[in-house]
Each structure stands twice: as C-alpha cells, then as structure tokens.
Chains A and B, each alone.
Chain A
Amino acid sequence: GNSVTQMEGPVTLSEEAFLTINCTYTATGYPSLFWYVQYPGEGLQLLLKATKADDKGSNKGFEATYRKETTSFHLEKGSVQVSDSAVYFCALYPNAGNMLTFGGGTRLMVKP
C-alpha cells in the first residue's frame, strides 16, 4: 500500500537557520506529492506540491523536489522565521486513487 515516512520532531531552530525536513514515500506508479502545514489554531493548508519526477514545488520560501530515484520529497527553507513555527505534513496522492495519504507530521519550532 501507499505510505509516507517523515522525520520525527520536534525540530527546533533559531531564526534565520536552514531547514530540512525529510520525507520518503512508498507508492505504486507516479503519485503527486504535497507538503501541508498546520499553524497553531488553524486547519491544514496546502504549502506546495509537485506532480512528476524532478518537479520542484515552492511557496513562501519553502521548496521541495520530487526525487523518484530516492522516493523522496524533502522540504527545505534557507532562512526560517518565528512565524514558520507549525506542524508540517508530507503527503502523497496516487495516480490511481482518490485520497491523500499523510505522514506523521513534523513539528517545527523557531526561536528568535
């Protein structure tokens, strides 16, 4: 079956530090890959996506590249801010199916 594995948190960084949150997946075929973010007190929202191999998704300074050879979709940001503190979820959407499968989430805490 489909599954997503992401690094456990919490990840604690100082402001302006570089961020990487690892995500790997298992799926048949060629799924679309997503990062969703959950800010405190808010619902999950789409951060970025990539639909095919070597695509790079980007938004709000965050980036992730779809790597089929390593079945990975790691999230990166060059300089985090306190406002980036949230829980980040990696997810896949299979090309033959109709629901998102999520990883367990990684909590990011950014300190001033």
Chain B
Amino acid sequence: GAGVSQTPSNKVTEKGKYVELRCDPISGHTALYWYRQSLGQGPEFLIYFQGTGAADDSGLPNDRFFAVRPEGSVSTLKIQRTERGDSAVYLCASSKILGTGELFFGEGSRLTVL
C-alpha cells in the first residue's frame, strides 16, 4: 500500500490478556517508530527501529511491552498481561531517512482493556 498500515484498527481485550499490534511501514522506509497516544494527549515515544534492530527503546513503560522487526519491514508491538492503563491509541510511523523528523503515520490501533 501507499501508506503506513496498522492492524487491527480496534482491539478490545480483557485485563491480563496478551495483545499484538502490527505495523506495515511504507516500502523502503528504514526507520520505524511506535508511539502511544492517550485520550486528549500528544503522542508519546515508545521505541524506534533502524532496520531490524531496536535503536532506542527508552520509551517502553515496563517489561510487559516488547517490539520486534525481524526482517526490517513489518513490526509487531507485543503487550503482555494487559492492564486497564494500557488503553490508548498505538501509533506507528516510518521514515525514509533517519534524522529528519519527517514521519509518516498510520491511523493507529485503538486498544481498550476492560
């Protein structure tokens, strides 16, 4: 596709369950970012990848959160033992060139933890 694709667009789960959120970046974009956006707030950085490796994961809130990008393209954000406070919109973005701040965002995956 032409843009960043995120699936699912909506996910409702129960507290304690495991969740995976997928991001398919724009073809050829080497940098991939995950952000989290709570209601009425700006996006907060979670992690970014340059190629296959996580170059900076300092924004992950705790060890229940993990992300992978095994082949340098699609990325999966994994959340274990979900808590109600994890409810938010998870945004993925990609960039052709690292270092510009010009990111292309997907529409996000809305996670609701009951």
List the interface of chain A (C-beta within 8 A of B): 4, 32, 34, 36, 41-46, 49, 89, 91-93, 98-105
Contact = CB atoms under 8 A, between A and B. Distances in A.
A43 B108 contact: yes
Query: What 3 A-B pairs are tightest by C-beta distance, nearest first?
Result: A93-B101, A102-B42, A44-B105
B101 A32 contact: yes
A100 B37 CA distance: 13
Contacts, number: 62
20 contacts: A4-B42, A32-B100, A34-B101, A36-B105, A42-B107, A43-B3, A43-B4, A43-B108, A45-B104, A46-B103, A49-B102, A89-B42, A89-B43, A93-B100, A93-B101, A98-B50, A99-B33, A99-B48, A102-B35, A102-B42
A89 B93 CA distance: 15
B103 A98 contact: no
A49 B4 CA distance: 21
Q: Classify chain B: how many residues form its interface, as a range.
A: 20 to 34
Interface of B: 3-4, 31, 33, 35, 40-45, 48, 50, 55-56, 59, 91, 93, 98-108
Contacts of B4: 43
A98 B56 contact: yes
